Amino acid sequence: MQRAEIEQLIPHRDPFLWIDEVTSLDDTKIIARKHIPEDLDIFRGHYPHFPILPGVIQLEAAFQAGAILIARTQTVADGQVPVVTRVNNTKFRNAVRPGDTLEIEVELTETLSNAFFLTGKVSVDGKTTVRLEFACAAASTQNL
């Protein structure tokens, strides 16, 4: 799945779209990628002499992958989008540097009514950079 289809499924756009492509998708799991440009503006201020991608951006990439998974596999009412409601057991392991490519894996582990429970892992070159558990709930776009 390429960017045009991704943009049909979630409302995120540049400069805050953290998924470039989806390489695998089934009923419970998505694998996506995001190339981190060397000239990404965030690096000007996030450790300018040793630039690293902020952990919160890695989490956001996992959240967006989860939203794509939910949009493709679950029933969400018109006018609603999945919104993160909880993050648990987050563990940062390795830094992400300019020029790296994130591999983002998210698995849907449970669905209860309009709540979705997921696990995620982000890695670079096979090395885990972050693991997390998170929950989303379908929320009206009018309340956002």
| Residues catalogued as catalytic | 46
Report phi then psi at 41, rounded to 5: -55, -30
| Of 108, 63, 62, the residue nearest 82 (C-alpha) | 63
Q: How many residues does the chain have?
A: 144
Take residue 96 and report the two structure tokens written for it.
């992400």
Strand 21-25 with 80-92, pairing: unpaired
Give the CA distances from residue 43 to residues 13, 81, 100, in Å, rounded to whole numbers and listed in that order: 19, 30, 13
Rounded to whole angstroms, how far apart are CA atoms 62 and 42? 18
* Contact partners, residue 13, CB within 8 Å, separation at least 6: 7
